[in-house]
Amino acid sequence: MIIESLLISFGAETKNYKAGDLIFREEEFPLYYYQIEKGKIKLNNYTEDGKEFIQNIFSDGHSFGESLLFVDRPYPMNAVAMEDSSILRIPRQNFLDLIRDNPEISLNIYQCLAERMYYTYIMFYNLSFQNPVSKLKLMMDYMKSYYEDKAPLFLSDPSYPPAACIPYRPLCRNSDTYHQTDGERENSEN
């Protein structure tokens, strides 16, 4: 997370989004760095039959989509507000100036991107397992790595909570709604 006052000093503004609003759309080129002040954002795609695939969910203090500010590539996903949200956004060039002028911020960005890459590697590796218990164990070991108790996880341990205690978050739902994104708003204003 970048300190709000620093973002503002480089030209950031707060944008408010209602639940369901698109922030950016797949195939648009990145225009802004986004950091959530308050709210919840999902990154998603839709399959050819209209089912939603949620790639990630971010909340207060998190940034999203920033890795694509470093390459001249379009977004491979959508960003959608899951609830009413306030988001700081700073134009791409201002963001690049900010990290050039503040090397400690660059290191924080690199660390954040490295964590996300690590998660991606773990998930790809997880896809190679055929056994659902092995998949679940790898995922839980990954999640557990962020807590102090580093004891190995044994799924056969009767003291471990049953699978019913694991929060469920649906990954697919049908949708055919259309919302205007920041990129489309920028083009229509010019």
DSSP secondary structure letters along 69-132: GGSS---SSEEEESSSEEEEEEEHHHHHHHHHH-HHHHHHHHHHHHHHHHHHHHHHHHHT---H
pLDDT in the model for residue 112: 81
* Sequence-ordered list of residues with C-beta below 8 angstroms from that of 182, at least 6 positions apart, any chain: 15, 23, 24, 31, 32, 89
- So what's the pLDDT on residue 189? 64
Residue 139: its pLDDT value, please?
A: 74
What tokens does 31 get? 């225009």
- Residue 183 above 70 pLDDT? no
Calculate mean pLDDT across residues 158-185. 44
The identity of residue 159, as a single letter, is S
Q: Which residues pair with 81 in a beta bridge?
A: 41
Whether residue 114 is predicted with pLDDT greater than 70 in this model: the reply is yes
* 24-44 mean pLDDT: 96
Question: Can you give the pLDDT at residue 68?
Answer: 92
Look at residue 167 in the predicted model and tell me its pLDDT: 37
Q: Which pLDDT value is given to residue 86?
A: 98
Cβ-contact 181, 24 below 8 angstroms: yes
pTM: 0.69
Backbone φ and ψ for 186, nearest 5 degrees, come out as: -60, -45
Cβ atoms within 10 Å, residue 141:
12
Give dist(CA 126, CA 138) in Å, integer. 7
Q: Higher model confidence: residue 94 or residue 112?
A: 94
Supply the pLDDT for residue 184: 64
For residues 74 and 147, which has the higher predicted lDDT (pLDDT)? Answer: 74
**pLDDT-based confidence at residue 1 (cuts at 50, 70, 90):** confident
Instruction: Tell the residue number behind the tokens 């660390």, with chain if given.
Output: 111
Query: Looking up tokens 């290191």, which residue turns up?
Result: 107
Question: Which of 137-141, 168-172, 180-184 shows the lowest per-residue confidence on average (mean pLDDT)?
Answer: 168-172
CA angle 32, 99, 78 (to 5 degrees): 25
Q: What is the dihedral of CA 122, 123, 127, 133, to 10 degrees?
A: 80
- pLDDT above 50: residue 58: yes
